[in-house]
């Protein structure tokens, strides 16, 4: 092939390549896949508080806190607090109340009482924006009690014959003689009333209860869910599904486009169990 022919061939090939690259460039512009931002599906998280509320019980603050860390995820738009507990230790109950109160400051929290939501468990429920219970649920039981580490005589006004220790103050070691005189009994009662005052203040301020209802709670009695609804201890009568629907409403999300999951601890890890709402 002559030099002129080779030159023409190079020019033709170059032109073909330019055309091909131009076509590819135009194709990438018009037919390139659109960049779509991925957003996780909205969730409603159910956190269960069941059994004894204590630092070593089934519903210890440390265990529930692990679940609440996941409940604070941005994908979780609302939390349903599922309660089935008769309460427990005062300190542990207040800690759980405070933990759920922190969550409620960021997103809707709805409490759902199963069979029982009383004493310290009701304190925890009162941290929610709303409380739902069935008509047959047990709620209330607002109060404080003290369990003695031994059997105390019903009447122990006489000084004990034997003591096992001495202390710097009259109430420091009141159980040393396994008896309680009237001053010691009055002292314990005063301490319980102090705990009750904190309990009532937390519940009444969050629930905005009237003074009449407050006085009605001081005897420590329990009420049915229906009675609690009339008193203002419960906002609505309903079951767990109703609580989930109410949580979706408060969060302003479509329940049909939302995953509902139960958060549970298994072998130290948090697992999500899908929950189906019957419609």
- How many domains is the chain built from? 1
- Determine, yes or no, domain membership for 226: yes
In a domain? residue 229? yes
pLDDT band at 198 (very low <50, low <70, confident <90, very high): confident
Where in the sequence is the domain holding 231, given as residue range(s)? 45-141+221-274
Look at residue 70 and tell me if it is in a domain: yes
**Percent of the chain beyond pLDDT 70?**
71
First to last CA, the chain: 83
Specify if 128 maps to a domain.
Answer: yes
Question: What pLDDT is attached to residue 192?
Answer: 75
SS3 113: strand
**pLDDT above 70 (res 154):** no
Whether 18 is covered by a domain: the verdict is no
Q: What is the Cα–Cα distance from 122 to 183, expressed in whole angstroms? A: 32
Residue 162 or residue 222, greater confidence: 222
Residue spans of alpha helices (H) in 32-161: 61-71, 90-104, 120-125
**pTM greater than 0.85:** no
Domain assignment of residue 159, yes or no: no
Q: What is the CATH number of the domain that holds 107?
A: 3.90.226.10
Neighbours of 254 (CB within 10 A): 9
């Amino acid at each position: 092939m002559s030099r002129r022919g080779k030159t023409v061939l190079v020019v033709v090939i170059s032109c073909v390549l330019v055309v091909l690259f131009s076509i590819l460039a135009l194709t990438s512009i018009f037919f390139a896949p659109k960049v779509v931002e991925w957003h996780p599906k909205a969730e409603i998280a159910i956190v269960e508080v069941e059994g004894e509320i204590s630092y070593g019980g089934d519903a210890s603050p440390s265990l529930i806190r692990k679940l609440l860390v996941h409940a604070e995820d941005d994908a979780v738009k609302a939390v349903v607090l599922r309660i089935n507990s008769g309460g427990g230790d005062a300190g542990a109950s207040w800690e759980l109340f405070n933990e759920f109160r922190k969550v409620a400051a960021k997103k809707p929290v709805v409490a759902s009482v199963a069979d029982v939501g009383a004493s310290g468990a009701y304190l925890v429920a009162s941290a929610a924006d709303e409380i739902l219970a069935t008509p047959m649920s047990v709620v209330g039981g607002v109060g404080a009690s003290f369990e003695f580490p031994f059997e105390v005589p019903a009447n122990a006004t006489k000084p004990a014959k034997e003591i096992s220790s001495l202390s710097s103050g009259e109430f420091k070691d009141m159980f040393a003689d396994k008896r309680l005189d009237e001053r010691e009994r009055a002292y314990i009662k005063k301490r319980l009333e102090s705990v009750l005052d904190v309990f009532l203040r937390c519940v009444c301020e969050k629930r905005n209860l009237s003074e009449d209802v407050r006085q009605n709670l001081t005897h420590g009695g329990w009420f049915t869910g229906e009675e609690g609804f009339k008193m203002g201890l419960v906002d609505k009568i309903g079951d767990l599904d109703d609580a989930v629907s109410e949580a979706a409403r408060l969060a302003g999300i479509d329940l049909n486009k939302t995953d509902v999951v139960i958060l549970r601890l298994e072998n130290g890890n948090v697992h999500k169990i899908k929950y189906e709402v019957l419609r």
